[in-house]
Amino acid sequence: MSVSHLVPFLAVLPLGMAFLFVGLAHVRGGQRVVPGLAVLTVAANLVLATALIGVEVGPIFVGGWGAGKTLGIQLNCDGLAKFMAVTINLVALVSIVFALAYMRRFTKVWLFHALFLLMTGAMNGLVLAGDLFNMFVFLEIAAIASYALVGFGCEAEELEAAFKYLILGTVGSAFVLVGIGILYAMTGHLNMGMVAATLAKVGTTGPAVLLAAAALLGGLALKAAMVPFHAWLPDAHPSAPAPISAMLSGVLIKASGVYALARVVFNVLGPNAPLATVLMALGALSMVIGVFLAVGQWDFKRLLAYHSVSQMGYVVLALGAAADVLAVGGNRTVAGLCLFGGLFHLFNHAAFKSLLFLSSGALEQQVGTRWLKEMGGLARRMPVTSFCCRVGALSIAGVPPFNGFFSKLIIIVGLAMAGHPVLAALAALVALMTLVSFVKVQRYALEGEPAGDGAATAREAPLLMGVAMAVLAVICIGGGLAMVPLGAHLLDPAREVLLDGAQALKEVLP
């Protein structure tokens, strides 16, 4: 039995464990084993996802509905899915280890772990899904778990944020489903490869395809929090408990937003000029407006949330530029460079934004406030947290030799080579603004004198939280230097899938 037989467990294991936890919670003594089991489950998933790197895994037909039949559930474990699975499970493992210490002040921790695994398992299923409707179902499972987790504290503000997120998220999902319905009506298929093959015959520029594309792009852009669909994110992400903020900003908006966008645009609809323009416009707007909104924030977690909008803008802009090059049959190397930058930035953002959210959670727990003006002098009182926070800030600001520098540089070079010098200059300017914003964080939170009682008496965060942050800090420092091996094993296979466009899923047809 080879490792490829275990692929469905990426999704099935966490989902099953989530339901098991609900049962365990009602057994005497069962609640005690839940956190340990949750960590083991996520760790097993990370091992499995890592073991899949470099292994050739063909399409998997669940329940034996295989060759020749068009109706079965198909899982595609291609380069892109493997790359996303590694990213998701890495951030999930670090977040859940952090949560062991962080969640002690909450009640019903078993419920937290059940929802956490539901979300992780659904995201794994989402990136593996080989047909559009399964993608939608996993999107919804992940979304429902995240709505509940945002409101987990049940405080007034948290419920308000969760309710807004829930309403907007549901409307977005409805549009995704409309788009899938139109594509099914046109092609008679739900399997992504078959939809792509049929669309290639009937043409991808008819009004019905454009309507489906508009519905899908609108719904998924809302999930990815692209400007102008970003209004929910700055409320929802800061309101969640810190490990969940790290998961939401670190991987959820990428898996259910950017990944799904990329899959639909490149592999199902095929890159064409109107879609590329829309992606570039969304990306550029998010990148610029996100950072301008972030600079003025004094709430640490809210500031980080706006930066998520901005950094996701980089990724979508790079994807759009690549689609633009591919649409006119341009140079594959240039498109590949843009995609490499975009995917590398996606991975790096998962590392440094999770790190920043985790360190903001540690600061909030030890200091008792999220307001930057009430912190101060924490570099002396909380050295480990402060060091990790600085590493994250330097990475997101794009200071060499941290990982954010390399991915931003590749995106900027890629944009310039793809014939968008203005957008490249804009990306560089936004990087500068990000730096300014994080200099402010360093200045008010970590340097200077304590501005409040909480900051004056703060102590270092518990060991497990420190370990979780240190792991991510090592990835941020080493990510840039490890670009070549990372690229060869993770990013290049993922990039090839997107570069092949509508052809990519043809070879995995049942």
- Residue ranges binding other proteins (CB under 8 A): 71, 133, 137, 140, 144, 147-148, 151, 154-157, 159-163, 166-167, 170-171, 174, 177-178, 181, 184-185, 190, 235, 239
Question: Residue 129 or residue 166: which is nearer to other proteins going by CB?
Answer: 166
Can you tell me the distance from the alpha carbon of 456 to that of 459, in angstroms, rounded to the nearest whole number?
A: 9
CB of 302 to other proteins, least distance (A): 8
Question: Residue 144 or residue 476: which is nearer to other proteins going by CB?
Answer: 144
Kindly state the DSSP code that residue 461 receives in the 8-state scheme. Answer: P
CB of 221 to other proteins, least distance (A): 16
Tokens (6 digits) for 489 = 């094993």
CB of 63 to other proteins, least distance (A): 14
CB of 437 to other proteins, least distance (A): 18
3-state secondary structure of 439: helix
Question: Residue 131 or residue 324: which is nearer to other proteins going by CB?
Answer: 131
Strand partners, 62: 73
Can you tell me the distance from the alpha carbon of 410 to that of 281, in angstroms, rounded to the nearest whole number?
A: 19
CB of 357 to other proteins, least distance (A): 18
CB of 345 to other proteins, least distance (A): 27
H-only helix segments in 368-462: 378-381, 383-397, 403-417, 421-441, 453-456
Q: CA geometry: angle at 403 spanning 249 and 486, to 5°?
A: 95
CA nearest neighbour of 11 among 107, 135, 97, 105: 135
CB of 36 to other proteins, least distance (A): 28
Tokens (6 digits) for 296 = 């003025």
Question: Residue 116 or residue 352: which is nearer to other proteins going by CB?
Answer: 116
CA nearest neighbour of 337 among 504, 487, 489: 487
CB of 121 to other proteins, least distance (A): 16
Question: Residue 147 or residue 438: which is nearer to other proteins going by CB?
Answer: 147
Question: Residue 194 or residue 339: which is nearer to other proteins going by CB?
Answer: 194
Q: What Cα–Cα distance (Å) separates residue 333 from each residue in 339, 340, 414, 427?
A: 10, 10, 10, 21
- On whether the CB atoms of residues 165 and 229 are closer than 8 A, the answer is no
- On whether the CB atoms of residues 130 and 11 are closer than 8 A, the answer is no
Can you tell me the distance from the alpha carbon of 235 to that of 52, in angstroms, rounded to the nearest whole number?
A: 36
Can you tell me the distance from the alpha carbon of 449 to that of 475, in angstroms, rounded to the nearest whole number?
A: 31
If one counts every other C-beta atom within 10 angstroms of the C-beta of residue 47, the result is 12
Question: Residue 88 or residue 180: which is nearer to other proteins going by CB?
Answer: 180
Question: Residue 296 or residue 419: which is nearer to other proteins going by CB?
Answer: 296
